[in-house]
Amino acid sequence: MEDVIETLTRGNPTEVKVLLASVALALAVYQLVLISVGYGKVRPGFLAAAPAASAHRAVGDTIVVVLVVVAFMCVGYFGLEDDATLHIVAAIALLSVLALKIVVIRWWHRMGRFLPALGISVWLLLALTWLTSAGDFLANG
Under the rule (CB under 8 A), what is the footprint of other proteins?
10-12, 15, 18-19, 22-23, 25-27, 29-30, 34, 46-48, 50-52, 54-55, 58-59, 62, 138, 141
Query: Closer to other proteins at the Cβ: 46 or 107?
Result: 46
Three-state DSSP string of the chain = CHHHHHHHCCCCHHHHHHHHHHHHHHHHHHHHHHHHHHCCCCCCCCCCHHHHHHHHHHHHHHHHHHHHHHHHHHHHHHCCCHHHHHHHHHHHHHHHHHHHHHHHHHCCHHHHHHHHHHHHHHHHHHHHHHHHHHHHHHHHC
Query: Closer to other proteins at the Cβ: 41 or 141?
Result: 141
Beta carbon of residue 79, minimum distance to other proteins (angstroms, whole number): 21
Beta carbon of residue 134, minimum distance to other proteins (angstroms, whole number): 8
Query: Closer to other proteins at the Cβ: 1 or 48?
Result: 48
Beta carbon of residue 15, minimum distance to other proteins (angstroms, whole number): 6
Query: Closer to other proteins at the Cβ: 92 or 127?
Result: 127
Beta carbon of residue 123, minimum distance to other proteins (angstroms, whole number): 15
CA–CA separation, 35 vs 31, rounded Å? 6
